[in-house]
Amino acid sequence: MNRLFKVQSVIPKPTGWSSIRNFHSTSPSFMFEKILVANRGEIACRVMETCKKMGIKTVAIHSDVDRNAKHVSMADEAICVGPAPTSESYLNIDAIIEAIKMTGAQAVHPGYGFLSENSRFVKELENIGVTFIGPGSYAMHALGDKIESKRIAKEAGVSVVPGFIGEVDGMDHVLKIANEIGYPVMVKASAGGGGKGMRVCRNDEDVKIGFRLSKQEAKSSFGDDRMLIEKYIEHGRHIEIQVLSDGETALYFPERDCSIQRRNQKVIEEAPSPFMNEETRVKMGEEAAALCRAVGYKSAGTVEFLVDHDKSFYFLEMNTRLQVEHPITEEITKQDLVEHMIRIAYGEKLKIKQSDLKIHGWAMESRVYAEDPYRNFLPSIGRVKKYIRPSGPGIRIDGGIFEGAEISTYYDPLISKLITFGENRKNVITKMKRALDEYYIKGVNHNVAFLRDVMENKDFVDGNVTTDFIPKEYPEGFQGYKFSPKQIEQLSICAVFLRFVEQHKNLTNSANTSRTSSISPDILYIAKVENVRHSVHFYPLENEGETEESSKFMVQFIDQDKDGEVLKEFEVNLVDATPQFIKLNIGGISHRFQIHDKSATAFTLQFHGSKIPVTVLTPEEDLLTQYMPVKKTVDSSNSLISPMPGTILSLAVNVGDKVVLGQELCIVEAMKMQNVLRAPKDCEIKSINVKPGQVVSVDEVLIDFK
Amino acid sequence: MLGRRLLNKNTIQLLNKNSNGVLSQGIKSFSTAKTAPPAKEPFKAVKYESTIDRVMGRIQEETERAQLGGGLKRIDVQHGKGKLLARERLDLLLDDGSFREYDMLVTHRCTDFNVEKTPGDGVVTGHGTINGKLVFVFSQDSTVNGGSLSEAHAEKICKIMDKAMLVGAPVIGLNDSGGARIQEGIASLAGYAEVFQRNVMASGVIPQISVIMGPCAGGAVYSPAITDYVFMVKDTSYLFVTGPEVVKSVTNQEISQEGLGGAKIHTTKSGVAHLAFDNDIEALKKVREFVTLLPSNPNQPAIREPFDSPSREDVVLDQIIPDDPNKPYDMKEVIERIVDEGEFFEIQPDFAKNIIVGYARMEGRTVGFVANQPKELAGCLDIDASVKAARFVRFCDCFNIPIVTLIDVPGFLPGTNQEHNGIIRHGAKLLYAYAEATVPKISIITRKAYGGAYDVMSSKHLRGDTNYSWPTGQIAVMGSKGAVEIIFRGKGDIKEQEQIYNDKFANPLPAARRGFIDDIIPPRMSRQYICEDLEILKNKKLSNPTKKHGNIVL
């Protein structure tokens, strides 16, 4: 038995990106010698992987809080470009230009976000003769601008979303246009991306608030607050085409389906789309390629479409950069997009043809964020105290953090991108479930529970997903995984097993004078999960002919009211155990549980992605629990509590104001997202405990009501 | 049914279901360690009644009365307060069926005021095992005369304490008593003193643990006060010398029992109690865990089989110290990353948070950890921290528990408050405790070790066995800012002077060159180093000069 619980050093093995094979990296007679990666986090690491593979030296830039970050340790050289706020570091063009000069980098890969679509940066680079790995400033300017790109697309014969082609400003103008197009409409920043600076509006009221907030976000995130407005197509699918163009040849890749979004930010993506047929695929691809040719595009890019239920599609925008979700395209086409980008930027011509871009199997990406799915996906910050990544064939992880990393309010809360790939969609979903079950994250809240829940959603499994999937399937927000009675039994077994192990360990103490040196051979425990209780009788089974101690157990669920009648019986086998995981074979099927917390009476387990406390008591303890006082809970209904850590941006009320349910009280900015906090009921403001600019922590009381 | 719990009607019913149900299913008995005496069949009347039958009948009757305690009505009141009965508590505390009761039939000898006479006299005493480990226990029954302490009640407690000392096993007291039995007058006070004397004699011989599970007021508080560990139950337990009424009449100050001596006050402000728990069940389960960690006496090391590799490396430790010397980090995480399975039993987590003390296992061996916490007061030593750590170090030394000290201390906390309240006197306690201790002493300097605080914290000069530093260690008289002001008196370029000073002292090299630290170790290998040293030092023999006893700075 002891052998089974002993643990050797648990150093996570690096996995993931290495699974992409070497493509035409055999022949670099001439190539860049040093590339500066003007980004952080997973995408910086991703780009450096390819640089390493191609024998190119890498330079990382970082803010002062990032000096121990993963991308810094991966690079050959690292230069600090400023303090934590992105506007002073990762967006600090002057400092980055300085870094390029200092290190002698010949090219810059911008990743996504930050300066990836900033034409001023591209111009600055051109001035000093450094190559920007991306499209030229003309294509970037023309396509990166949502208004301009719509115009160009229309001219190139691409079908576009109905709307107003042009910038809107002034509330009257905005309202007029919105009413002309007809609700619902989408207001979005012309320079936007990543779900920032855009909002869906369903009436005039929404437009008034949404327009103001989006504009502010656009200003702080992109430094460009021009806005546009267009028809919001509901129940559509978000499908996009990866393109690759060397200025002459423009190739299109099989599509990516990114319909699962929340707050207009993608959460789960897959390639190909379960909705597409070959005909539409070719038609979309050709239009995307045509758009590239129209602007003489020279790099990798993505053309986004909204696809209606009748497979008619509308051009949304073109992203002139590497996308977050590019790995799924790489996995089904066996191409390294970063390598292609670098080669095109160096001036090479594409060596692949359209016919090389066949679909091999299926791939899916889940974005693992530090956020609280139970609290409307609000960002979570903190120190990642334990971090164990899944691994295995068909699993790729593009991540930018390691254990001990700090997730701060300054940057995107993306922990990693978990990609699984295989022969078909079913197989890929199964792998994704397993990978999520093996993903152990402690210290910050994360959305694994939510992702895992989606993997079991019927519509998702059937491939019936549209962009309103999350609001439709989770109208009240994510409430946590609903454990079936069978799963509750499995949780009970696991917790009882853990209790048994603990007991066993304690009995090995040297002062054990008891005449029996080990645990009594069988035990009865009461396991409680939520409101379900089970009486679990547990005893080890003899192992035949083996010298090692037994790892086989018999578990019986018994009915205490009926003279201990055995209701169910399982043979349980311990497969594997570490301090974080336990894998039990229950009645022939293996289940993996994560162990997250332990109190005097309960274990908090993570099962099917969701954490749940399981109380294990002896029958005596269980009997006496009825006398224990009920814990008092603090009444929080009479105050406004900060749902996340962040900064108070503005206060919309004063002390003594009478407010009505849903009225805006204040705005908290966290991770560049502005969150409006509203009155939970009709009431009067008694006191305001914060002022604009103040940094607040989660659960801090901001406003008291009378 | 000797030694069986006492329950009200409801629970008796449930219990019967239980024992008739599960236990009689042909399944093996739930514990082979059952040592309870065989159940006595109720006496059945026959025509002929012998003397022995009559005696048996009386024994039966008195036993039943003892088990019933204060009667069903008071039992319901006790349960209604969210508290368990004396026997129920022992049932949860001890291994199933291991409890052997003494003096069940003892009664008080008071003849005044018609004091109710119940066999057992308000306290249940005896011995039992916790995870197979022998312990002596007493559990006061507040349903019997309010759990008040009579002469006989005190004698029962003294009896198990004497026996515990004789055999070298811990004593656990479950306190739930209204105080002295006033009707007995001086006899009751004498009883207290007898207990106090034994608490003092047992100190350092066997571990003594008090769990306060109800009121404990007046003179009664001094018995727990002398014991090594005091645990409390939130909302149902109080400790104070004089109650709210007396406080009001003397000082005219209105205060609740909770506000005066509740679990929160004693675990955060006064430092009287070491831990507080949500309810009786949690408290008793945690006591089980705690007792399993402790040695039973100084000659028996606490060790269990190891379940974690001694050579486990933790790369996160290499990065855990922030670059900015003024930025805090969580020292508790450092401890959890070093110890077996990350399990750390912290003592007084909410009092003097600037120092962490507690127990963990290293390769199965129980080890005491003392560590500065940079997250609180920058890890400075102040009065409370010094006293907290000093008492912990002395307990470890008493019972031969090795001490591992993790150091990140910028010095003693400055200020009139500290000076006027005697930081000199109290800080000296920690110095005394470390200097006097003869157990294996291992220390790691993780960052700052400045000034007198460096000397105090288990330094080489206080007979530290192995002293390590991480590469981030800075062993100096003070930080660069203050030092530069003194050395250069504000003349010249302060930045440059600080740089010179930092290059010279803000690293572990000067101490390493003098041998004041034995080695500069990679943080990730800390566990390995400590485990090896503990193995080497397990037979360490060191004794202080023979003396009656030292005179610690009280």
CA distances from A423 to A91, A279, B537 (A): 41, 22, 59
CA distance B26 to A604: 33
DSSP letter for B477, please.
S
ipTM attached to this prediction: 0.86
Hey, what amino acid is at A417? K
Which SS3 state, helix, strand or coil, does residue A27 take?
coil
Label residue A195 left, alpha or beta by phi (over 0 means left) and psi (-120 to 50 means alpha): left
Nearest-CA distance A499 → chain B (Å) = 13
In this complex, do B306 and A627 lie within 8 Å of one another by their Cβ atoms? no
* CA nearest neighbour of A455 among A545, A578, A365: A365
Min CA distance, A535 vs chain B (Å)? Answer: 10
Q: Is the separation of the CB atoms in A685 and A700 below 8 Å?
A: no
Would you put residue B120 in left (φ > 0), alpha (ψ -120 to 50) or beta? left
Chain B residue with Cα closest to A401 = B316
The stretches in chain A having pLDDT less than 70 are 1-29, 192-195, 514-522, 543-550, 632-637, 671-673
Distance in angstroms (rounded) separating the CA atoms of residues A663 and A699: 20
Q: What are phi and psi of B406, to 5 degrees?
A: -110, 125
Model pLDDT for residues A70-107, shown as the tens digit of each residue: 999 999 999 999 998 888 999 999 999 999 999 999 99
Q: What DSSP letter does each residue of B437-460 carry, written as one string? A: --S-EEEEEEEEEEHHHHHHTT-G
Given the structure tokens 């989006």, which residue do they identify? Answer: A214
Is the Cβ pair B306, A510 closer than 8 Å?
no
Is the CB of residue B313 less than 8 Å away from at least one CB of chain A? yes
CB B94 within 8 A of CB B129: yes
Q: From CA B266, how far away is CA B264, in angstroms rounded?
A: 6
Q: For residues B229-250, b (16+ Cβ closer than 10 Å) or e, as one string? A: bbbbbbbbbbbbeebbeebeee
Asked whether the beta carbons of residue A511 and residue B33 sit closer than 8 angstroms, the reply is no
B103/B3 Cα distance (integer angstroms) = 12
Contact A520 B21 (CB under 8 A): no
Q: Please check whether residue B123 is in contact with residue B157, taking contact to mean a CB–CB distance below 8 angstroms.
A: yes
Q: Alpha helix (H) ranges present in A585-683?
A: 619-625
Residue B263: its pLDDT value, please? 94
CA distance A244 to B504: 57
Per CB-CB distance under 8 Å, the chain B contacts of A512 are 131-133
Q: Which ranges of chain B have pLDDT less than 70? A: 1-40, 43, 45-47
A317, A325, A438, A669: which is the annotated catalytic residue? A317
A560 CA: distance to closest CA in chain B (Å): 6
CA distance A270 to A682: 44
Beta-bridged to residue B378, according to DSSP, are none
Q: Residue B35: its pLDDT value, please? A: 52
pLDDT for B4: 38
Note whether A620 contacts B341, CB cutoff 8 Å.
Answer: no
Give A587→chain B minimum CA distance, Å. 21
CB contacts of A514 in chain B (<8 Å) are 33, 95, 98, 129, 132
Identify each DSSP E strand in B117-157 by its residue range: 123-130, 133-140
Instruction: Kindly report the number of other CB atoms within 10 A of residue B174's CB atom.
Output: 28
Measured between CB atoms, which of A11, A623, A631 is closest to B11?
A623
Whether omega for the bond prior to residue A272 falls within 30 degrees of 0, making it cis, is yes
Say which DSSP state A354 is in.
Answer: G
What residues of B are annotated to the active site?
218-219, 452-453
Closest to B184 (Cα-Cα) out of B224, B148, B220, B141: B148
- Determine whether the interchain pair A514/B33 forms a contact, defined as Cβ–Cβ distance below 8 Å: yes
The total number of residues shown for chain A amounts to: 706
Nearest to B282 among A516, A563, A600 (CB): A600
Residue A509, number of CB atoms within 10 A of its CB: 23
Total Cβ atoms within 10 A of residue A654: 8
Residue B43 CA neighbour count, 13 Å, CB half: 18
Cα separation of B513 and B519, whole Å?
Answer: 10
CA distance A671 to A649: 12
- pTM equals 0.84
Distance of CA A426 to the CA centre of its chain: 21
CB-neighbour burial class of residue A419 (10 A; exposed 0-12, middle 13-18, buried 19+):
buried
Contact state of A509 with B20 under an 8 Å Cβ cutoff: no
Q: Which of B33, B84, B302 lies at the smallest CB-CB distance from A510?
A: B302
- Please say whether the beta carbons of A175 and A210 come within 8 A: no
β-strand partners of A658? A684
Q: Which residues of chain B make contact with A511, given a CB cutoff of 8 A?
A: 132-134, 295-296, 300, 302
Contact criterion met (CB below 8 Å) for A242 and A451 = no
pLDDT of residue A428: 96
Closest CA to A20 of A423, A433, A397: A397
CB contact (8 A) between residue A385 and residue B292: no
- Nearest chain A residue (CA) to B18: A560
Phi then psi for B170, rounded to 5 degrees? Answer: -65, 155
Contact of B328 with chain A, judged by CB distance below 8 Å, is answered with no
B515 backbone dihedrals φ, ψ, rounded to 5°: 80, 10
Chain A residues close to B17, C-beta within 8 Å: 560-561
pLDDT in tens, A179-234: 888 888 888 887 766 667 788 888 888 888 888 888 888 887 777 788 888 888 87
Do B22 and A599 count as a contact with CB atoms less than 8 A apart?
A: no
DSSP assignment of A413-459 equals -EEEEEEEEESSHHHHHHHHHHHHHH-EEESS--SHHHHHHHHT-HH
The helix (run of H) or strand (run of E) holding residue A268 is: strand A265-271
**Res B237: pLDDT:** 94
> Which residue is closest to A525 within chain B, CA to CA?
B30
